[in-house]
Structure 1
Amino acid sequence: MNAKRWIALGIVVALLVVSGITKITSTLLASDEETMSLTDSLMAIDSDVTEMVLEDGDVNNRIAVLTINGAIQDTGSSDSLLGGSEGYNHTDFMDQLEMIREDDTVAGVLLNVNSPGGGVVESAQIRDKILQIKKEKKLPVYVSFGSMAASGGYYVSAPADKIFASPETLTGSIGVIMQGYDFSELMKKVGISDNTIKSGEFKDIMSSTRPMTAEEKAIMQSMIDDSYGQFVKVVAQGRHMTEAEVRKIADGRIYDGRQAKANGLIDAFGYEENALDALKKDKKLKDAEVFEYDTSGGGLASLFSSSVSQVIGKKSEAEQAMQLMNMMGAPRLMYMYGK
């Protein structure tokens, strides 16, 4: 970060401190009853996660609405402080699942999924947490698919009690992919040579500077097969199918909603409102309060993010593209469609 940005950040911090003190003072003075302490005021300002009520109802029997929108990848949350990019945030989502696990007023969960999939590890983390919640809390989990819920998007949905999708939803793509690029021929043409010093024969496996050997391909294929086997088990367990039945439809292809229903991958056609109505009816939660978590919030973190964005601007498209390239630099096992 250059000197200009450091100066801008310093100004923003100073302004925020003054703004925070002013807000706290006015809150305390405006209260006839001294029910809010200085600490309470600070906590109110610095709340990163708030709850937004979508439908009023019984506050002791509530339905939590969660959303996965975008690729399921843990890109870190450090950029959010400086007005980072919008979309799926893995840390936030896992935090929301944990809040549900600790909240005795939550009686059901509706998960909206609109994702082409993502990382093998991140997908497994979500599924494991959902299973933990279902086991410990005995909570029903219903899922509503958006325009796409493929690969990892389907993986995280498999444990659901019921899955709803549009006839036009793209789903399935059950499988694993790992990709890399071989630029060795191009390097020869432009006169670029590679100098790699390694401790073992396979240390630079899937290097972009040379073709893979047959042995290297066999090594990587064994990893793909292991992850694929896990995916098949997840679907079989979640959809009450045999592994043989899953393998017949799990060749990586994408299905529309009609095909998915015929293959047993979803339970019914419908949208978010239909899934919510079914959850209320099936689990006797007709009068339940419906809410979602809001991580954009009105807290100090969001205020800081907004102010910094105005002063130094959001990331340029080039910076965002560079970040994506850095993430993709090392080949990863992915439950991903259309990578």
Structure 2
Amino acid sequence: MNTKRWIALVVAAAILGISLVINSAFAIFQSTLGTGVDDLLATAQTDVSEEVIEDGDFNKRIAVLNVEGTIQDTGEASALLGQTGYNHGLFMEQLEQVKNDDTVKAVMLKVNSPGGGVVESAEIHDKITEIQEETKKPFYVSMGATAASGGYYISAPADKIFVNRETMTGSLGVIMQTVNYGKLAEKYGVEFVTIKSGPFKDIGNPTREMTADEQAILQEMLNDSYESFVDVIAEGRDMSEEQVKKLADGRIMNGRQAVDAKLADDFGFEEDVLAALRTDFNLEDAQVFEYGASQGLGSLFSMKLNSLFGKDLESQMITKLLTENSSPRMMYLYGEK
């Protein structure tokens, strides 16, 4: 192993050690100082900030929300270790702010995502429809380079969907993947011993081949999630189930194909979507603002780690390997995590 790899391993171990120390410190503070620390940490990590993009009437505002990256709940550990992508808890809090803020009259949702978890995607979809039904606030979606699978799932209930001609979208369907490294382990003399209470307790075990019965169980689960996806598109796009299923075979498409297939309404960049919202809902003088995260304890620690380790790709890959949940799960996802 060369020097660079040794350094990368030491860096990864140091990151893991630092996160464990911080978690331990938080636990001590909580046990010593009581629930007041819980409130402080929650405020520090989840506060939502606002940045004005275009000045205008504060009582008539357009909120801009961003879904950037894989839609999944990665937990606190990834936040401490410097993740700068999608934050599910923060995004759900932003949606709640949209619902409760009477000055927000419309929403532009910017989506640049290959999709993600079925649970997280469904949670976003349901929250958007709840806001629409209870407040009548319109949602316009501006799709970026990629808005596929779960990225489309969360876009489906929007009043209008705008794409670029080169936007990669579609990939309507569900996928679950696992790795079988049994033969590799056997090659190196590694033997796995599994003790289980039932024949399917270790379903998806990566050390052996999956049985036909196990595949059937998982396939039934995927089929249920697929039908939910079809229903979401049919309702959001006012299409029949038959029309949706002709498109929901996992294929990807560009923006032009999406408009032709009636999965999107029009072409446009972000400024075009904002202009359409202003015109369609009499918001010409509205203030436009964008939600973001305040600089809490988690984000400050993230900044320190990023400044310390910079853009070293190998360190980032090892950190990701140490912190990601590798268990197989159903995903509305195009491409790899």
Farther-moved stretch of structure 1 (269-278 vs 147-156): 269-278
- The aligned counterpart of 1:337 is 334
- Residue 226 of structure 2 is aligned to residue 235 of structure 1: no
- The aligned counterpart of 2:283 is 285
Distance 1:45 1:244 in 2: 48
Distance 2:259 2:18 in 1: 53
Root mean square deviation of aligned Cα: 2.6
Secondary structure of the residue aligned to 1:77 is: helix
Cα distance per residue 1:288-336 (max 9 Å; x no partner): 10001121x3566655654576679899324423235x41x21100000
- The aligned counterpart of 1:165 is 163
**Cα distance 1:152–1:311, how it changes in 2: closer, same or farther (>3 A)?**
closer
- 1:233-312 matches, within 5 Å, as 233-295=231-293, 297-298=294-295, 302-303=299-300, 306=303
- Residue 109 of structure 2 is aligned to residue 114 of structure 1: no
- The aligned counterpart of 1:62 is 61
- TM-score by structure 1 length? 0.82
1:181: how far off? 1.5
Secondary structure of the residue aligned to 2:86 is: coil
Secondary structure of the residue aligned to 1:63 is: strand
- Residue 146 of structure 2 is aligned to residue 155 of structure 1: no
- The aligned counterpart of 1:34 is none
**Cα distance 1:332–1:79, how it changes in 2: closer, same or farther (>3 A)?**
closer
Q: Which amino acid counterpart does residue 294 of structure 1 have in structure 2?
A: G
Distance 2:199 2:310 in 1: 46
Is contact 1:77-1:91 (8 Å) kept? no
Distance 2:215 2:283 in 1: 52
1:76: how far off? 1.3
Distance 1:253 1:183 in 2: 29
Q: Which amino acid counterpart does residue 233 of structure 2 have in structure 1?
A: V
**Cα distance 1:322–1:245, how it changes in 2: closer, same or farther (>3 A)?**
same
1:206: how far off? 1.1
Cα distance per residue 1:129-156 (max 9 Å; x no partner): 1011101110000000000000000000
Is contact 2:82-2:301 (8 Å) kept? no
Q: Which amino acid counterpart does residue 172 of structure 2 have in structure 1?
A: I
Q: Which amino acid counterpart does residue 132 of structure 2 have in structure 1?
A: K
Q: What are structure 1's unaligned runs of at least 5 residues?
A: 14-43
**Cα distance 1:182–1:144, how it changes in 2: closer, same or farther (>3 A)?**
same
Q: Which amino acid counterpart does residue 166 of structure 1 have in structure 2?
A: N
Q: Which amino acid counterpart does residue 335 of structure 1 have in structure 2?
A: Y
Distance 1:99 1:275 in 2: 21
**Cα distance 1:123–1:323, how it changes in 2: closer, same or farther (>3 A)?**
farther
Cα distance per residue 1:63-109 (max 9 Å; x no partner): 000000100010013443x4622111111101100111110100000
Distance 1:252 1:100 in 2: 32
Match of 2:101 among 100, 103, 116: 103
Q: Which amino acid counterpart does residue 174 of structure 2 have in structure 1?
A: V
1:182: how far off? 1.5
**Cα distance 1:255–1:307, how it changes in 2: closer, same or farther (>3 A)?**
closer
- TM-score by structure 2 length? 0.82
Distance 1:299 1:210 in 2: 44
Q: Which amino acid counterpart does residue 64 of structure 2 have in structure 1?
A: V
- Residue 188 of structure 2 is aligned to residue 174 of structure 1: no
Percent pairwise identity: 54
**Cα distance 1:125–1:285, how it changes in 2: closer, same or farther (>3 A)?**
same
Secondary structure of the residue aligned to 2:142 is: strand
Aligned length: 300
Match of 1:133 among 125, 131, 134: 131
- The aligned counterpart of 2:48 is 49
Secondary structure of the residue aligned to 1:221 is: helix
Is contact 1:162-1:266 (8 Å) kept? yes
- The aligned counterpart of 1:225 is 223
1:260: how far off? 0.7
Distance 2:177 2:316 in 1: 24
Distance 2:335 2:46 in 1: 37
- The aligned counterpart of 2:3 is none
Is contact 1:48-1:302 (8 Å) kept? no
**Cα distance 1:195–1:266, how it changes in 2: closer, same or farther (>3 A)?**
same
